Structures are given as structure tokens and as C-alpha cells.
Amino acid sequence: MNNAIAIGRVRRTRRRRALRALFTIYLPVLPYVLFALFPLYFMLVTSLKSNAELYDVHSVPFWIAEGITASHYTLLSAETPFWDWFANSLIVSVTATAISVVLSVLAAYPLARLRFPGADSFGVAVFITYLVPPSLLFLPLSSVVNWLGLSDSLWSLVVTYPTFLVPFCTWLLMGYFRTVPKEIEECAMLDGCSRFQSMLRILLPAAVPGLICAALFAFTLSWNEFLYALVFVSPAELKTMTVGVFSELIRGDIYYWGSLMAGACIGSIPIVIAYVLFLDYYVSGLTSGAIK
């Protein structure tokens, strides 16, 4: 009897907790989740609709009424070098991210750890560099790319992307490095580590969330970049996905909406995977620098 009462009480408590969670957490969060996921959902739905339905003003735009079609994906794969563009984007983004994160670590460490005249000003200057818009920089950079003989090659992007990735990653990593107690490094140096060794063996392992956060940002920025990829690379087979899709699927006043959305859906997959895999690191990397 007592057991039954106890079990009933536990159940009621559980139910009450579940209800409380539903009303205080899940339901309030739901609109934000729907808002955030809506573009992805709309892209997916549009990419699977027939052209006839896309143009039909009487059809509901939020779901598919007249059957799913893969024709937009087929067009993308069969009539454009989409997968070349995808591979180019991947190569450029991964390479530019790796180079930028390494350079940013080397820049952020002295700015965060070493005391020298003008260290703070350098830190601010690095961030201000990030604020110069690419629409101003692409003209002088086109001269630089040409001078280096890198026009119409993926190397032109690998070289130019760090111009906006390094300042941002440096700034982000400076904040994160400052959250790691310097006493740990000092202990290591007392035990015989050089400055470089202490950075490599002590600081960086402790700053993995920050590094992943910087890498994620750098990868996303590279993946989405448009202007430099447009200006510095012309051959169709060397275009990145952002430029290739735009070039082939917008023809004057004709937009291939279904295929554009199919390209956008496939293009968002690597970013989604990267963020899902490293979400915890990303959040802690972003917030740690803010609460020193």
C-alpha cells in the first residue's frame, strides 16, 4: 500500500517536472527553433517542388502538394560542374582555415601573454583590420594577386582569405588565451619549458575550445565568401560553390529557383555537420573569452 502511494507520488513528481520543463523550457524555446530552422526547411521544400508548382500562386509555399521531384538536384549534378565547385570550396576553406588558425595562434599569443609597449593598441588594430570591407579591398588585392601570378587559381583564394580570417581569429583567440591562467605556463617554464614549448604543450591543449571556435568561424567565413572568389577566379571548373551556383543558375531575369535552393541545401550540409560535431566547444569557446 505504502509502496503504491510512494510510486504514485514519484510519478506525479516526474509528471510535474516534465510539465514544468515543457512550459518553462521547450515551449518558450520552440518559436526560436522554428525561426532558426525555417530557412533550411524552406530551402529543402523549394528544392523538391516542380517548377510548375513553384510558379503556382494558389499552391501553399510551405509544403509540397504535387509530388516530390529530384529534377533540380539532377540539373545541378548533370548540367553544371556543381561537385567540382563543392570540392573547390572544401579545399579552399580547409586550407585557408588551417593557415589562418596557425597564424592567429602565433599572433594572439604574444598579444595576450607578453607585455610590451603598444600590445593593447596592436590588439585593437588587428580587430579594426577585420572591419575593412572586402568590397574596398578587392581592387588593391586584385593587383596583388596578379603580381603574385596567382590569378585564376585556387591559390589566389588561399592567399587572400587569411586577410580577413587572421584578424578575426586573432582577436577571438586573444580573448580565449587570457582566460587560461598564466600560472600554469609559468610552472611549466620553471620546470624547463621554453616560451614556445609552454605555448605548444600547455596553453594550446587548454585552449582547444577556443581553437575549434576560431576554426569553425574561419571555415564558415571561407565557405560563404563570394566577392574574392568571383573576382580572382574565372574558369568554370575552378569556381567555388557560392560563385558557381550564382553564375549558372541566375540567367538575367530568369532564376532557377529549385536548383538554386538545391545548391543551397547541399552547400549548408558541411557547415551543419561541423557545428553539430563541435557545438559544445563552439559555445564554450565563444563564452569563455567573455567572462574573464
Partner 1 sequence: MATSSIGQPRRQRRRQFLRTAAGSAAGLAGVLASRQPPAYAQARELTFLTVASFVPETDKELKRQLEEWGALNKVKVRLDIIAHLQLQAKKAAEVQARSGHDLTALGPGLGDAELYFDHLVGLNDVAAEIGRKNGGWLNPDDYLIRGTWTLLPWWQPPFPMAVRTDLLKKLGEENPDTWEDWLRIGKKGKAIGHPFGIALGHSGDANVTLLSILWSYGGSYVAKDGETVTINSPETREAMEFVKRLYTEAMDPEVLAWDDASNNRCLNAGKCIGIHNPISAFESAKKDKVRVPGTQQPIAEVIDHLNTPRGPKGRKATTGFWCVGIWNFAKNAELAKDFLRFHFRPENLDKWVEAGHGFNMPFLNNLTRHPVYESDPQYRHIPDVAKVTVPPSWPGPTTAASQQVLDLYIIPDMFAQYATGRMTLDQAISWGEKEITEIYRRRRT
CB of 149 to partner 1, least distance (A): 10
Q: Based on CB atoms, which residue is closest to partner 1, 117 or 252?
A: 252
CB of 57 to partner 1, least distance (A): 5
- Quickly count: other Cβ atoms within 10 Å of residue 156's Cβ: 25
Q: Based on CB atoms, which residue is closest to partner 1, 66 or 280?
A: 66
- How far apart are alpha carbons 258 and 17 in whole angstroms? 45
Binding site for partner 1 (CB under 8 A): 51-52, 55-58, 138-140, 142-143, 145-146, 151, 227, 230-232, 234-236, 243, 246-248, 250-255
Q: Which residue has the cell 588561399?
A: 158
Q: Based on CB atoms, which residue is closest to partner 1, 118 or 235?
A: 235
- How far apart are alpha carbons 23 and 15 in whole angstroms? 12
Structure letter (DSSP) for residue 251: E
As to burial, measured by CB atoms within 10 angstroms (0-12 exposed, 13-18 middle, 19+ buried), residue 33 is exposed
- How far apart are alpha carbons 98 and 44 in whole angstroms? 31
Structure letter (DSSP) for residue 161: T
CB of 51 to partner 1, least distance (A): 4
Beta bridge partners of 255: 250
CB of 152 to partner 1, least distance (A): 9
CB of 23 to partner 1, least distance (A): 40
Q: Based on CB atoms, which residue is closest to partner 1, 115 or 251?
A: 251
CA atoms within 13 A of residue 73's CA, in its CB half-sphere: 13
Which residue from 214, 202, 220, 204 is spatially nearest to 166, judged by alpha carbons?
Answer: 214
Q: Based on CB atoms, which residue is closest to partner 1, 44 or 227?
A: 227
Q: Based on CB atoms, which residue is closest to partner 1, 26 or 55?
A: 55
What DSSP element (H or E) covers 254? strand 254-255
The CA-based dihedral angle spanning residues 20, 24, 26, 28, taken in that order and rounded to the nearest 10 degrees? 150
- How far apart are alpha carbons 177 and 127 in whole angstroms? 16
Q: Based on CB atoms, which residue is closest to partner 1, 185 or 248?
A: 248
